[in-house]
Structure 1
Amino acid sequence: MDTIDADEAMANVGRALALGRAGDRSAARDALTELWDRVGDTGDALHRCTIAHHLADLQESVADEVTWDRRALAAVADLSDERVQRHHASLQVRALLPSLHLNLADGYRRAGDVARARHHLTIAAPLAAELPDDGYGTMIRDAIARVTGLLDTGSREPLAAP
């Protein structure tokens, strides 16, 4: 495991995400996997959470996506408000939780694990209610409603963008 500067790590995440937005999901996944290997399982919790969160979205299988989503949520246990605020002054760990639980709920829904999907939705919904009434909060609350609706109908289809 290399040591990696905080600014360098987040800049590398940004570059990898740009590859994905440009349509090269494989290159984005490879770049984030390499970065994960450098940070390691016990590296900076913000880096682990961020990398795992984005790696989940780049996986080919739902099972692999859920594995990365679980890693992202696990990293939050080691994360403090002080640490996230060194990255951006307005961040709070609690504000990350609704999205992380939502992602797990959706992954479990698509994997057919209704009980685990519902479990994570029951955690995500009240946390999302605490988010500000801004674009991010609205996006998370709307996605929770969409995942809940899909779960209620038994759909295992991917969550479509609003």
Structure 2
Amino acid sequence: MAGRATHQTLSVLVENRSGVLARVSSLFARRGYNIISLAVAPTDDPAFSRITIVIDIETTSVEQITKQLFKLVNVVKITELDPADSVERELLLATVNAAGDNRSQVVELVDLFNGKIEDVGYDTLTVMLAGEPARLDDLEELLRPYGITDLQRTGRVALPRLERQAPRLRNVTGKAS
């Protein structure tokens, strides 16, 4: 089936206590669920953390996963994030061969993606790009012919998109306009 999504992003709000991440990842391991990406950090309230999990839905039912997650005592809320209605970002660090003429080509390519050169070696560069996961995929693919010697990507983080409708305004008589 062309165009069918094979991944689903879950935003899981949990109590910020030791062992919670271990229990969540253990649940996935016991059930044989495949995690594509995992990121966790405290929220604006230090009592809670947000775990962003990207799962493979070709081998697993999202409904089954959410039911299992809700059984964990420290899980407060689970939100399924639709990529069209959420902001998803990731970070890529890559060390790339960049000797001679290749150096300027790699620098130009990174500049085109609005990335940064984070470290410079004699014949290598470490580059950084933060953005949408598909954009990182594109840069990674274009850097491969130069030779990637080290690559690290963070787990995806995501939040729902904000409401875009302005509240109704009232005129000076107090009636809705």
Task: Report the TM-score, using the length of structure 1 for normalisation.
Answer: 0.28
Q: Which is richer in strand?
A: 2
Question: Considering only CA atoms, is the larger Rg found in Structure 1 or Structure 2?
Answer: 2
